[in-house]
Amino acid sequence: MPRPHFLPCPPALRRRAWLALPAAALCPRSAPARDAAPLIAAAADLHVALEEIAARFQEASGWALRLSFGSSGNLARQIEQGAPFELFLSADETFVFRLLAGGHVRDEGVLYATGRIVLFAPPASPIDAEQGLAGLLAALEAGRVRRFAIAQPEHAPYGRAAEQALRAVGLWERLAPHLVLAENVAQAAQFALAGGSQGGIVAYALVLSPALRGRGRFSLIPEALHAPLRQRMVLTRRAGPVAEAFYAHLQSPAARSILRRHGFSLPED
């Protein structure tokens, strides 16, 4: 493992007052070699937003990051099994609390966002997504739903929220024969858009992304139909100075504005 070495605070970082972070967070006294970029574990719904935030962080600081996206449950299990993640952004705070109980993270972390789920249907779908779950029910009653995608509820928070919402309106059992279960919510969005699929329940942040924007219809599912998607991040016991700086950056106004633009509700909002 390379020994830490001292790095000067990059000029580009000094120029960017919008980061508004403490000097210690921006310019750690020591940092890993640049070929040892910290590995960040993040929920799949963050894919587009976090890549944008990380790119701005790297531009300002000169420090690279490696991002790994997946279902929160699978990522938490990998951390428990010794995966070298330094920062974990979960779509469900209960996974952070589980890691804390197991001694894998420093503390309880911070709540960084609350997610929303939407009913999404591609252009040719018989589901009138703008009518919400009533539109899904009408298509089901007409026998026009063959494939419908959600993330796997066992380990994907957005899949669990989808199941809760469908159960709340009495659609779960009727829709079960048509369900296609994805590994995570990003894959569920891909399945919902794929040929032969009539739609799915996915993350609001993903339908706002370039990959799905304008490629179908959607409507927000009422939050009262499922448990809140309280998204929490935390530094692991392996975290070094660069991961610490990125963790601080994620709490800055610049990063928060990106999350808000991508459809997330923020704690103070």
pLDDT digits (tens, 9 = 90+) for 109-119: 999 999 999 99
Would you say 139 and 127 are in contact if contact means Cβ atoms under 8 Å apart?
Answer: yes
pTM of the shown model = 0.84
Average confidence (pLDDT) over 22-33: 40
Q: Could you count the other beta carbons within 10 Å of the beta carbon of residue 196?
A: 8
Which tokens is 63 given? 């420090």
Separation of alpha carbons 231 and 112, rounded Å: 6
pLDDT at residue number 15: 35
Q: Looking at domain 117-220, which of 3.40.190.80, 3.40.190.10, 3.40.50.2300, 3.40.1280.10 is its CATH number?
A: 3.40.190.10
pLDDT digits (tens, 9 = 90+) for 179-205: 999 999 999 999 999 878 999 999 999
Separation of alpha carbons 69 and 50, rounded Å: 10
Average per-residue pLDDT for the chain? 88
Per-domain residue ranges of the chain: 11-114+229-261, 117-220
Average confidence (pLDDT) over 49-76: 97
pLDDT at residue number 268: 77
pLDDT digits (tens, 9 = 90+) for 236-265: 999 999 999 999 999 999 999 999 999 999
Residue 73: name the closest of 156, 158, 162, 184 by CA: 156
CATH T-level fold of 11-114+229-261: D-Maltodextrin-Binding Protein; domain 2 (3.40.190)
Domain 11-114+229-261 and domain 117-220 have a common topology: yes
Would you say 184 and 203 are in contact if contact means Cβ atoms under 8 Å apart?
Answer: no
At residue 5 the predicted structure's pLDDT band, cuts being 50, 70 and 90, is: very low
Kind and range of the H or E run holding 139: helix 133-141
